[in-house]
Amino acid sequence: METLKKTLHDSPVARWIALLLISSTMFFAYFFVDVVAPLQKMMIANYNWSPEVYGYLGGSEFILNVLGFLILSGIILDKMGIRFTLLLSGSTMVLGAAIKFYALRFIDHGTMVNILGWELPATAFVAFCGFALFGIGVEMAGITVSKTIVKWFKGKEMAMAMGLEMAVARLGVFAVFRLSPLFANAGSENPAEWDAANSVFMGLAFLCIGFLTFLTYVFMDVKHDKELGDAAKVAPEDEFRLSDLKKIFTNPGFIAIAALCVLFYSAIFPFQKFSTDMLSSKLNMPADEAAALFSFFPIGAMILTPFIGLFLDMRGKGASIMLYGAILMTVAHLIFALMPNENFNYILALGTIVILGTAFSLVPASMWPSLPKIVEDRYLGTAYGSIFWVQNIGLMIVPGIIGLALSKSNPGVAEQIAANVPGVAYNYTVPELIFAGFGVAAIFLAIYLRRVDAKHGYGLELPNKKKA
């Protein structure tokens, strides 16, 4: 009797080591994404930025991706493979982060530039360029990591593995809200003396470490493919073709998940960038204490996501879980929007953050393992790239919309903060109602997704793990 050849893929230890390596890089990437999020007021006061400029900084991460680089990233992944794309994404993140650090450290804070009739600080413009380049790298890394997990865990603990990867990445969000203020203040208790460049430098250093973990995984992946031999090679009929883009964008399941994705993430990631100042304003507490409070948001998601992934592997119900997550997200933002400040306290804030963190566990944990059920493996990388592209459209636009809404609903406040007038704070009712509106739309889309799944039989409600 012929003995089946065992490979690294068959070794649980090897699979989880591979997951740890790629997840570590995403931890450092998520840290850098929000590295200045706890420092909003300091950016306005010390860098001559307005709320709109600060919001556009968050959106700049996604500009080049929306212009087509994310779909191109997916095509590169499907054409060039996981190893090439991991190294390309890692080096791009490091380069973009270095440019952002240069902008905040070495460019004079008072220098202004005129870009197509828009006058803004030179620090902001160069930081936008660096963050946009970083954005290409981090989103490319995201889709590559997703396809890597499918490669190692398909038919096994795939949803749990994706959940654990997201948990480790969100630990980076927890770390940034705890550590970024410490890196920025460098021992000074006066917020006016904080320097965001210190935090950005530490984020850059972390990304360099993350590049090394990607590199370590590449050696492991080479060994894996050598063990597989011809089985690792892609047959001509299984290669990606540009015509596959039409199949992706005419797939009703993909369209439903992509639309749900952009609405859900538009109410989460842009919110993170304003959350510290929102809590500081609503609870009348210092920014570093507000950042520490919000740091509990990713902790809940980090703890719950792997268990939700395990449930999806064993029991399924992916489409239903997305609906429950959209409902919880809407409830959380409505509490932030409508609860009067005099009735809003630390315990209520923490409870609302936990609700939002639970929503942040439910939707991504069920969304990303669902995509391989809807599209073919040969263009899975492009499908992930395409759905991230749709997501990035919202993430590019929404921070600027929120910054503009904040400025228009609080006339004169930015000028008072820049002048260091004590006791001045923003009212976040209008921005929070916008986030809640995204949640309501996401609820209707999640209901639609369940109907699409029932009609086309994608199996989103079925378990991910195949029985032996």
Band the pLDDT of 242: cuts 50, 70, 90. low
pLDDT of residue 158: 80
pLDDT value of position 418? 73
Task: Round to whole Å and give the CA distance between 286 and 296.
Answer: 17
Give 298-353 pLDDT, tens digit per residue. Answer: 777 778 878 888 888 888 888 899 999 999 999 999 999 999 988 999 999 999 99
Report d(CA 396, CA 68) in Å as an integer.
13
Q: What's the pTM value of the predicted model, to 2 decimals?
A: 0.75
How far is the C-alpha of 302 from the C-alpha of 30, rounded, in Å?
13
For residues 192 and 123, which has the higher predicted lDDT (pLDDT)?
123
The number of beta carbons lying within 10 Å of the beta carbon of residue 343 is: 7
| Chain-centroid distance, C-alpha 294 | 16
Q: Which residue has the tokens 């850098």?
A: 32
Residue spans of the domains in the chain: they are 14-456
What is the average pLDDT score of the chain? 85
Residue range 111-122, pLDDT digits in tens:
888 887 878 889
Tens of pLDDT, residue by residue over 367-422, are 878 888 888 877 777 888 788 888 888 888 898 899 899 999 999 887 887 777 88
User: Cα(402)–Cα(405) distance, rounded to whole angstroms?
Assistant: 5
Q: Tens of pLDDT along 294-313?
A: 888 877 777 887 888 888 88
Q: What is the pLDDT of residue 417?
A: 76
- CATH code of domain 14-456: 1.20.1250.20
Smallest CA-to-CA distance from 60 within 6, 121, 134, 168 is with 134
pLDDT band at 17, cuts 50/70/90? very high
Task: Give residue 459's pLDDT.
Answer: 87
CB 399 within 8 A of CB 227: no
